Amino acid sequence: MNKNKIKIIKFKMSKKTKYDLIKFLEIRFADPISSMKLVNNYFVYGTLMGRLNLYNIKEDKKIQLSELNPENISDIAYNEKERKFLAGIGDEEIKIFYIDTLSEDTIPQNQSFNVYLSDFDHTKNCENAFIFITDKSFLRVQLPQIEEGNIKIIKMESNYEVKYFNEEDEIYKKSDILPSLPTTNYTVPFDFNGKQFLWVEFLSATERNICITNIPLLKTDRPYKYGLNNTIGHISQAKILPNNRVFIVHTLNKCEIRNLDKDFTLLEKFEHIGEEVLAVDVYIYDENENILSNNELNENIYKNDYIKEISPKKNKKLLSAINTNTNRRLETSDNQQKNKNQKEFYDNNNEYLTIKQNKLMKNGDFIDIKNICIATLDIDGNINLYKNKKEINLFNLNNIDEIPQDHKDKNFFSMGYAYYMKTDLNYYCISSDHGCYIIKANN
């Protein structure tokens, strides 16, 4: 690898924009924020004790969506077309709230979706399971246990389930049996974008793999794995990027963008101004500075881009041949042909995706998705932005006049919780030991 091609980013300070605290959302004692979502001037956040709230930024109204769920709020997604939020209750249930039905006077009614078939299934499997949610689907990954005498042993491969909320599309229908993911009980999940799942697995004190796989996983699929050694320290943050890339933070504050190729090629790097990066938010925007949703980025690429390239007759034939139950033995020539058709279908699609990987479909036209923005929060209270290949230090929480001095004196991030940040470049929502700050950029 030619090291001269690696772009090292230098920090610049933002001088034109003023940042003001417009709302502080308190949290209850020992009940920190566990997930959040910011979209269309609505901010939804959940806590470890299962409380779920919505704050309407423009109208300055806080609405309690649900109180004291049986598990923590593990993930939150938003479906723009149907104007609804989806909240994961641990790995047990997904609650759905429609914006148009919300009122600040009463706890709103909601729809719910059970992840497991029964309470017994949940009790039996929840100990080593977690879920991710997108606006179209959820991914549940479970490390199953087996008992040998009085000892519980975790298997070295995990079961997984992906289910799409809208199953009218034939290509999205969930199969009955899915292949296992080759993960271990030392797996740390990082990201799921509806089409890919990213994780790091620890092999020893000095060795680990960074891994990414397509979802649904076929028997013929092989997840991307790259072995890491001490040259790359502990990975604390990782996000999937377009064009087969990944953003990682390692050794506390070293930020890198790398290709998911055979050499895990380093493309760009910078060292964060603070000592430790605590939270990362990534989004893609078009030439008009419009943020693109996960649905636009992933589902359209996965479905609309290449399915339409196949002739209608061939498309219908191949769709009918898709069968993700590839753990079953192929006992007949018909099954063998079906598996062959399935492999050819996905090989053709992957080849087309390589050609179109930097484009997406919107309103029938391809638009460029090379514009990427990465916002980062560090332990010293710095909020930085990587945009247009430049790293900018936007502001520091200690310099926001409206934040109480006693918050600054006690530090913002000393309790050791997981911390979160969401931004649309207009608002910055930041969780801390004290609560959540909503900060507005005033140009």
Contacts (Cβ under 8 Å, ≥6 apart) of 397: 381, 383, 403, 408, 412, 430, 432, 437
- The listed range with the strongest mean pLDDT (71-85, 92-106, 135-149) is 71-85
pLDDT above 80: residue 191: yes
Cα–Cα distances (Å) from 407 to 402, 404, 411, 413, 423, in that order, read 11, 5, 6, 10, 22
Q: What is the pLDDT of residue 125?
A: 85
Contacts (Cβ under 8 Å, ≥6 apart) of 158: 141, 142, 143, 144, 180, 181, 183, 187
Q: What is the pLDDT of residue 433?
A: 96
User: pLDDT exceeding 90 applies to what percent of the chain?
Assistant: 45
CATH architecture, domain defined by 13-442: 7 Propeller (2.130)
Residue 25 CA to its chain's centroid (Å) = 24
Query: Which residue in the block uniquely carries the two structure tokens 């519980």?
Result: 152
Average pLDDT over residues 119-143: 89
pTM: 0.79
Residue length of the chain: 443
pLDDT above 90: residue 367: no
pLDDT above 90: residue 285: no
Q: What is the three-class DSSP state of 36?
A: strand
Contacts (Cβ under 8 Å, ≥6 apart) of 41: 56, 57, 58, 427
Please say whether the dihedral angle defined by the alpha carbons of residues 190, 32, 411 and 416, taken in this order, is positive or negative.
negative
- The listed range with the strongest mean pLDDT (217-221, 292-296, 302-306, 405-409) is 405-409
Could you give the CA distance from residue 193 to residue 112 in angstroms, rounded to a whole number? Answer: 22
Could you give the CA distance from residue 95 to residue 87 in angstroms, rounded to a whole number? Answer: 5
Q: What is the three-class DSSP state of 248?
A: strand
Nearest to residue 440, comparing CAs of 424, 417, 416?
424
Average pLDDT over residues 187-206: 90
Q: Which residue has the higher pLDDT, 312 or 65?
A: 65
Query: Which residue in the block uniquely carries the two structure tokens 């975790």?
Result: 154
pLDDT classification of 74: cutoffs 50, 70, 90: very high
Average pLDDT over the chain, rounded to an integer: 78
Q: Is the peptide bond before 216 cis (omega within 30 degrees of 0)?
A: yes
Q: What is the pLDDT of residues 323-358, one digit of tens each?
A: 222 232 233 344 444 444 444 444 444 443 443 444
pLDDT classification of 152: cutoffs 50, 70, 90: low
Angle at alpha carbon of residue 287, lines to 286 and 291, rounded to 5°? 30
Average pLDDT over residues 27-39: 94
Average pLDDT over residues 143-163: 73
Contacts (Cβ under 8 Å, ≥6 apart) of 87: 35, 44, 46, 52, 65, 66, 73, 75, 76, 94, 95, 96, 97, 133
Contact 255, 354 (CB under 8 A): no
Quick count: other Cβ atoms within 10 Å of Cβ 374? 19
pLDDT classification of 151: cutoffs 50, 70, 90: low
Question: Taking the CA atoms of the chain, what radius of gyration do you get in angstroms?
Answer: 22
Q: What is the pLDDT of residue 83?
A: 92
Could you tell me the residue ranges of all domains in the chain? 13-442
Q: Which residue has the higher pLDDT, 438 or 151?
A: 438
Could you give the CA distance from residue 94 to residue 71 in angstroms, rounded to a whole number? Answer: 11
Contacts (Cβ under 8 Å, ≥6 apart) of 215: 139, 160, 162, 192, 194, 195, 196, 197
